[in-house]
Amino acid sequence: MPNRPLLPLRKRKVNKMAAEQKESVFKYFVRQITSLPRTPGNIATLVIFAFGALITIMRFTLGIDSVSNLDDNNPWGIWIGFDLMCGVALAAGGYTCSSACYLLGFKRYHSAVRPAITTAFLGYLFVVIALLYDVGQPWRLPYPLTVSFGTTSILFEVGLCVGIYLSVLFIEWSPVAMEWLMSIRQSEGENAVHPKVYKALVWLRPYLRRIRKIVLWMTIPLTVMGVILSTMHQSSLGSLFLIVPSKLHPLWYSAFLPVFFFVSSMAAGLSMVIFEGTLAHKALHNKMDETHLAEADGVVLGLGRACSVILAGYFMMKIMDIGMDHDWHWLFTGYGAWFCVELIGFVAVPCMLYAMGARERKTCYMRWAAALTVAGIIVNRFNVSMVAFNWQLPSVDRYFPSFLEVMLSVFIVTCIVTAYRFIAAKMPMLYELKEFKSHH
Amino acid sequence: MKRRAFLSLLTGSAAAAALPVKAKAAGGEFSGHPDNMAVLTDLTKCIGCRKCETACSKVNDLPAPVKGEDRSVFAEQRRTHADIYTVVNQYNADGKSVYRKMQCMHCQEPACATACFVKAFTKNPDGSVTYDPTLCVGCRYCMVSCPFNIPAYRYDSALNPVVRKCTMCHPRLQEGKLPGCVEACPTGALVFGKRSEILAIARKRIADNPGKYVDHIYGEHEMGGTAWLTISGVDFSKVGMREDLGTKAAAEYTTGVLGALPMVVGFWPIVLGGAYFMNKRKDEIAKEEQEAAVAAAVDQERQRGEAAAKKALDKAASDAKKAQDKAVEAAKKEAREALLAEQAAAAAAEKEGE
Ligand code: SF4
Ligand code: SF4
C-alpha cells in the first residue's frame, strides 16, 4: 500500500489532551481511526465499508430478497458458494502449515505458520459473519447445538466443526495478539497510548503472560484437533451435495465429493499461503524479520512441491471418478468443456508449474501456480454449488448474483484484508519480538 | 521424509473418506410409518380446473390464487412459492393437454428432514411431512436437498423468514377431515386413503384399463417412496416428473459419510501423534548426533590448534634464528668491507708516502 496521500492530509489536531486525560477513551479511538492517512487503499476500503453498512441495514430491515437474487429454486448463492465454500477451503493453510511444522517436523516452515494461522482465523471468522447475512434467522445459529440436534444432517456436522475449529483457531492465534498487547510501551506526544487504556494493559500483562504460556503448551493438541476438525468439515462441505444426485451435474456429482473437497482444500490452503506470502512480501516487506525473509524462498519451494504432489493425486482421482461413473460421454457437452477447463486449466497446469518450479528451484513459477490454484478452487466451488447445480432447470430459473450480493462478498473480503493489514502492521505476525523469541 | 509425510496425509484422508462408500447400505432402516395415509393423483382425470388451488389457499389462509381460476395462468410453468403450496400446470403431451398438480410429495424418508440440522421437519404417523417454524434457522439446506424443488422461503421477511410448503393438511387430518384439495376436487382425480390401499387402487386402475395408463405408480419407490402417488396416461417425463431419481431414499446418500466420522476422529490422533513422536525422537537423535559432532569438532579443533601453535612457535624460532644469522652475516660483511676499505686506504697512503 503506497503511503502517498491522495488528498491533502488533514491538519492533525495538536494533541496534548491524551496526556492530560481530558480525552475520553472513545474519542481517543475515534481520533486514532480518523487520523489514518488517506491513501487510495484506505479510501477504497471506506467506500466498500459504506456499501457493507448499506447492505447490512437493507438485509435486516427489508429482508434477504431486497439485496439478493436468491429464490426458491436457488436457495444458495455466492454467499454460500463463495464466502463459505471458498472461504473455508482457502483458510486450509492454517491446519496444513501448522501440522507440517509441528507434527510432521518441517521446522523450517515455522515462519509461515503465524501468517497462515492468522489468515485461517480471519477466514473462518468472516465465514461465520457472512453466514449471519445468509441464514434467515442468524440469532438461532446456536439452535443445532442447543435446542434441537439434527444429527442426520451433514450441515450439522459442518456447523459443529466450523464452530469448534473457529475457537481452536482463535486460541492458536491468540499469542500473536497477546504478545502485541504485552509489548505496548507508553510513549510521548501524539502517539501516546491513552492513559486509561495503558493502565488496563499494564493490569492485564501478568494474566496475558500466564495465558500465553498455557496456549503455547497446548500447541500440539490444538494442532491435532485442527487436523481432525478440518478433515471433517472440509470434506463435509463436499458431502453437503451428496444428497442431491439429481440436481448436480454428473460430471461434478460423485460419491467421492468429500474426498475431492478435502484433498483440494490442502492444495488450496498451501497455495493460499504462498499467494498471500507474495502479496505480503510486496506490501509488508519492512514488517518481516530476517528469519522470515531468509526462510521465505525455501518455504515457497517446499510448499509448492507438496502442492504439485497433491494436485497430481487430485487430478488422477477426478479422472478415475469419471471412469467409474461412466461419465465420459458428458465430456462432449458444454458442461464437459467447462469441466475440462477446470480440470486442465486449474488443476493440471498449476500442478505442472509447481513441479517445474520445484525442479528448477524457481519461486516465480510457484507463485503463478499458487495464484492459479487459488483461482481453481474458486472455480471448483462455484461449479459444484452454483454452475453445475440445478443444471437441468431452464435458464430463466437459473441463478446469477445481484450487484449488492456481490458487494457483500467484496465487503467481507475487504474486512479480512483490513484486519490482516492491521495485524501485520501492529502485531508480531511476520516477525518475532525479541522478548518472546521461540527456540526452534 | 517429506514426500512420505505428504503421501501419508493423502492416503490417510482417502482411507477415511473411502469408507462411506462401503458403509452406504446402512441407510434406510426407516421407511415411513406402516399405516400412513397417502393421496393419489390420477392425471387422466384431472381437467385443470384448479379448484384444488383455491381450496388450498382457503384452508391454509393464503392469498387467493392469481387470476382466480382463469386458465390464462397455464401460459407459463409455475412452481410452489411461499404463498402457493400447490400449483396445477398444463403440459402438452402426445398432442393432448395434460394437467398435473404439484405439491410436496410427503416422502416416506424426506430429503428435507434428513438435511435439516435442527430437525424442523417431522414425518408424522399420518404420512404428512410438517415443518416447525420455531426451530428453523433459515439455512435453506432443505430447499437445496428436496429432489422435487418444493419448499419455498419467505425471502421478503427481514426478521422472521420461514420455509413454506404443503402440510398435507396435517391439522385437518387430525380433526378427521380430508385434505382441502382432495375435498374440493370435482372429478375424483385426487383420492385420499391409507397408503397400502391407495397403492391397491392405483394398481387396479392400471390393470382394469389396459392401454389407458403407463404401467407405473410414480412415488411407490421414487426416492425411497412418497406419500403422494401419481398415475398417468402419458410418460411421466412429459409432465415434468423426473424419472431418473432412483429408488434410494435421500438419507442413504449421506449416512455412510456420517458413519465414517468416528473413524476420522480416531484415525488422525494416532497417525499424527505417531508422526509427532517420531519426529521428536528424530530431532533428539539429530540433536545428540549434533552434540557429539560438535564435541568431536571441538576436540579436533583443539588438537589442530595445538599443532598449529607448535608449528608457529617453531617457525618463529627458526625465523628468529634466520634473522640473527642474517644480522651476523651482515655485520661480518660490513666488518669485512670496513677492513678492506681500511687496508685499501692504508695501501693508498703507503703509495703516497713513497
Ligand atoms: S417433496 Fe421435498 S419437501 Fe416434500 S417431503 Fe419430500 S423432500 Fe420434503
Ligand atoms: S431452512 Fe430451516 S427447515 Fe430448512 S434445513 Fe434449514 S433450519 Fe431446517
In chain B, domain spans: 1-25+261-354, 28-250
pLDDT over 90 at A279, yes or no:
no
Q: How far apart are CA B223 and CA B145, in angstroms?
A: 12
Annotate B231-270 with b (16+ C-beta within 10 A) or e (fewer). Answer: bbbbebeebebbeebbebbbbbbbbbbbbbbeebeebbee
Ligand 1: lining residues by beta carbon, under 6 Å? B 104-107, 110-112, 129, 146, 148, 150-151, 165
Q: Is B237 on the interface with A (CB under 8 A)?
A: no
The Cα–Cα gap between B153 and A5 comes to 48
B151/A contact by beta carbon, under 8 A: yes
CB A200 within 8 A of CB A186: no
Task: Give the pLDDT confidence score for residue B279 in this predicted structure.
Answer: 80
Pick from A61, A105, A148: CB nearest B158: A61
Return the minimum-mean-pLDDT range out of A284-288, A314-318, B119-123, B328-332: A284-288
DSSP, collapsed to helix, strand or coil, labels residue B52 as helix
What the block records as the C-alpha cell of A49 is: 465499508
Residues of A (364-393) whose Cβ lies below 8 Å from B: 392
Q: What is the pLDDT, as a whole number, of residue A239? A: 94
Name residues whose C-beta falls within 8 Å of residue A148's C-beta, 6 or more positions apart in sequence: B118, B119, B120, B135
What distances in angstroms separate CA A266 from CA A83, A269, A302, one per listed residue? 18, 5, 14
Of the pLDDT bands very low, low, confident and very high (cuts 50, 70, 90), residue B30 is low
B82-121 residues touching A, CB cutoff 8 A = 82, 111, 113-120
At B15 the pLDDT is 41
Provide the 10 A C-beta neighbour count for residue B318: 10
Contact between residue A420 and residue A123 where contact means Cβ atoms under 8 Å apart: no
Interface contact A135-B14, CB threshold 8 A: no
Q: Report whether residue B261 contacts ligand 2, using a CB cutoff of 6 Å.
A: no
Q: How far is B28 from chain A (nearest CA, A)?
A: 12
Dihedral (C-alpha) A158, A159, A162, A166: value to the nearest 10 degrees? 180
Residue A136 alpha carbon, nearest atom of ligand 2: 1
Q: Is B23 on the interface with A (CB under 8 A)?
A: no
Whether B136 and A313 lie within 8 Å, measured CB to CB: no
Q: What is the average per-residue pLDDT within A301-306?
A: 88
Mean pLDDT of chain A: 88
Phi/psi of residue B38, nearest 5 degrees:
-155, 165
Instruction: Report the pLDDT value the prediction gives residue B308, as an integer from 0 to 100.
Output: 82
Cα–chain center distance at B110: 20
Please indicate whether residue B144, judged by its CB atom, sits closer than 6 Å to ligand 2: no
Can you say how many angstroms the Cα of residue A370 is from the centroid of all Cα atoms in its chain?
Answer: 15
| B224–chain A Cβ distance below 8 A for any pair | no
Q: Picking from A86-95, B96-105, B273-282, which range would have the lowest pLDDT averaged per residue? A: B273-282
Instruction: Indicate if the alpha-carbon torsion angle A345, A348, A354, A355 is positive or negative.
Output: negative
Report the pLDDT value the prediction gives residue B106, as an integer from 0 to 100: 96
Cβ–Cβ < 8 Å for B101, B182? no
A90 CA → ligand 2 middle, Å? 27
Which A-chain residues 155-174 have CB contacts (< 8 A) with chain B?
155-157, 159
pLDDT above 70 covers a percentage of chain A that reads: 94
Residues A25-56 pLDDT 10s: 888 888 888 888 888 889 999 999 999 999 99
> Any chain A CB within 8 A of the CB of B4?
no
Q: With an 8 Å Cβ cutoff, are A65 and B18 in contact?
A: no
Q: Given this model, what pLDDT does residue A389 score? A: 95
Ligand 2 lined by B98 (C-beta under 6 Å): no
A440: closest chain B residue by CA: B283
Supply the CATH classification number for the domain A8-19+43-439: 1.20.1630.10
∠ CA A142-A145-A151, nearest 5°, is 130
Q: Where are the domains of chain A?
A: 8-19+43-439
Ligand 2: distance of its center to the CA of B155 in Å?
13
Tell me the count of A-B CB pairs closer than 8 A. Answer: 211
Q: Does B253 touch chain A (CB under 8 A)?
A: yes
* CATH fold group of domain B28-250: Alpha-Beta Plaits (3.30.70)
Interchain proximity A255–B152, CB inside 8 Å = no
Quote the crossing angle between the two packed helices A110-134 and A154-183, to the nearest 10°.
130
Q: What is the pLDDT of residue B141?
A: 96
pTM to 2 decimal places: 0.83
Find, in chain B, the residue whose alpha carbon is nearest to that of A74.
Answer: B144
